[in-house]
Amino acid sequence: MPASADVVFDAFHYHQWRARWDSLVSATHVVGGAPCPYKGAVTENAGAGMLRSLSMRTQFVSYDRPHVAAAAMVGQAFPFTQWAASMRHRATGSQASVLVYTYTFEVGPAALRWLLGPLVALVFAGQTRRRFTRLQNFLELHAEEVRLWQQRDTVAPNHGAGAGVA
């Protein structure tokens, strides 16, 4: 990514930035109103584009800014019966970093898994590539804007329940 790990992390997780680039969700928020997730936070995410009907609730099981965040789906959201993902960020220079996104899911109903599984895997992989290309393009133009916002608003390193910017 064309920005430091902390800039990339915040551009992804702070909803005010994410709304400007994320092609996979049309709306996302933390239940309770925090500006970004934190460990234990539940988020609600509404799909966008051809996946507009997909809405998912997730709970963050890890949130260690700017290194790692991981979440798992709460309940089910057709076609997913299980879904989890993690993002790891590693600096590769003062203004460059690597983002490693790992996900796993299961689809249902079980009787149709043989058919739905490969199709959903193909669509999700394509949408994930598109999504992170959009994040990269956003950062090429706006990384400095995010960095200045971080300095101005004194972004807290790890948020607690209901915490936001200090």
At residue 69, what are phi and psi to the nearest 5 degrees?
A: -140, 140
DSSP for 12-71, written as a single string: HHSHHHHTTT-SSEEEEEETT--SS--TT-EEEEEE-GGGTT-EEEEEEEEEETTTEEEE
Encode the chain (166 residues) as per-residue pLDDT tens digits: 999 999 999 999 999 999 999 988 989 999 999 999 999 999 999 988 877 888 999 999 999 999 999 999 999 998 999 999 999 999 998 899 999 999 999 999 999 999 999 999 999 999 999 999 999 999 999 999 999 999 997 665 555 444 433 2
Residue 166 pLDDT:
29
Residue 128 pLDDT:
92
**Does pTM top 0.85 for this prediction?**
yes
